[in-house]
Structure 1
Amino acid sequence: MKLLAFNRVLGMLILGLLSFSCSSNLDFNQANDLKLEPVVVANLAYFDVPANQFVTNGVEQTVTIDTPTVDVFNDAFFKNNLARADFYFEINNTINRAYALDLVYLDKNDQVLYSTNFVIPDYTGIENLVTKTDMFANTKLDLLKRTTKIAFILRMFPGPVVTENSIGSIKLRSSVTAYLVIQ
């Protein structure tokens, strides 16, 4: 009986202590000062063009690889929150011929906003990797936000003849790193 009374008193004491707590006024306006700075990395483009695709009916050609739509930067979210974007390109040439890769950034009316190019040396038996990072910030970022397409144009330089039986390829891998500021 004494144990039951003791347990009741102890239970009432614990309940009494738990009913008193310390608290302070909460400031929900702190949410207005929230600033997020996420970094997003995504694939941009990839291609692998064999040497024989540079020949049509026995004649060497300048090849336009692709003109993909990249209007993600026109989205209101990116227009308002994109602070910087870094485009990374990696090109591997295993063809015994030098090339140039032109990247042409186009707006919705196919007007050129910005362009850049890469010289890709001919393959000499060792790894032939060309890398470049193109950073878009400030005025250049405004051009990117208006871009809806990027044309990838490969131009062949003079050199050894490329035929339908030529070996090798040109591979491009690219990605974009977007730096956002969300307030």
Structure 2
Amino acid sequence: MKRILQSVLFVMLLVGITACTEELDFNQFDDLEATPTYEAGIFYLEAPEDIINLVSGQSVFSQNFNFDAFSSDIFSDRVIDGVITYVVENTTSKELNITIEFLDENENVTDTEFFSIQPAPTAIIQREITYGDSGESIDIIKTLSTIRVSAENLGNNTSTSNLPEPLITLKSSGKFRVRLK
């Protein structure tokens, strides 16, 4: 009896295994469409008010940052669209103009963002720039090689904010959809 029960269980197991399988389709990869979203910080800058006061003239800061991450083939050939978010906070007594320029590898300006910042107390400025079908050309992102940031002090070099540790802060991040294949 034990042998018959084992035989019946073996046959049922064999039927169950073959009933639950289907032919493998190795062409499924061709049908796969995966577009993950990647998000990362791009830059973070801050300048304390006492440093701004040390600079004579209007130009407080001007710097080029090499940024080839977007122009690498693995990203630029697959990026679909995205958003760059800028956040500016001013707790200084200074009125400032901030300009952010995107440059390609030939140093041609492909995009510019301009911020006119009032002295503290001001609200935090947040701006989102869309690239792709619903915004600016995605080619701006694909060819980005350098980011130029400059700031001008439209105020004076003696005033001081009454807020603790006054400074101007500028940060940005990017969020982009990318095709995997």
TM-score, length-normalised on structure 2? 0.85
Cα RMSD for the two superposed structures: 2.0
Q: State which of 1, 12, 29 in structure 1 corresponds to 2:7.
A: 12
Identity percentage of aligned residues: 21
Paired residue for 2:128?
A: 133
Q: Quick one: distance in 2 between partners of 1:69 and 1:109?
A: 12
Q: State which of 29, 48, 52 in structure 1 corresponds to 2:27.
A: 29
The 8 Å contact of residues 54 and 62 in structure 1, kept in 2 or not, is answered as no
Larger Rg: 1
The 8 Å contact of residues 85 and 177 in structure 1, kept in 2 or not, is answered as yes
Please tell me whether residue 72 in structure 1 is matched to residue 66 in structure 2.
no
Q: Quick one: distance in 1 between partners of 2:80 and 2:149?
A: 25
Please tell me whether residue 84 in structure 1 is matched to residue 81 in structure 2.
yes
The 8 Å contact of residues 54 and 157 in structure 2, kept in 1 or not, is answered as no
Q: Quick one: distance in 1 between partners of 2:118 and 2:74?
A: 40
The 8 Å contact of residues 104 and 110 in structure 2, kept in 1 or not, is answered as yes
Local SS of the residue matching 1:13: helix
Local SS of the residue matching 1:97: coil
Q: Quick one: distance in 2 between partners of 1:166 and 1:24?
A: 75
- Return the structure number with greater helix share: 1
Deviations 1:75-117 (A, max 9, x none): 1111121011211011110111211110011122322222111
Unaligned runs of 5+ in 1: 1-5
Structure 1 segments, 4+ long, off by >6 Å, are: none
Cα distance, 1:27 vs structure 2: 2.2
Local SS of the residue matching 2:137: helix
Local SS of the residue matching 2:11: helix
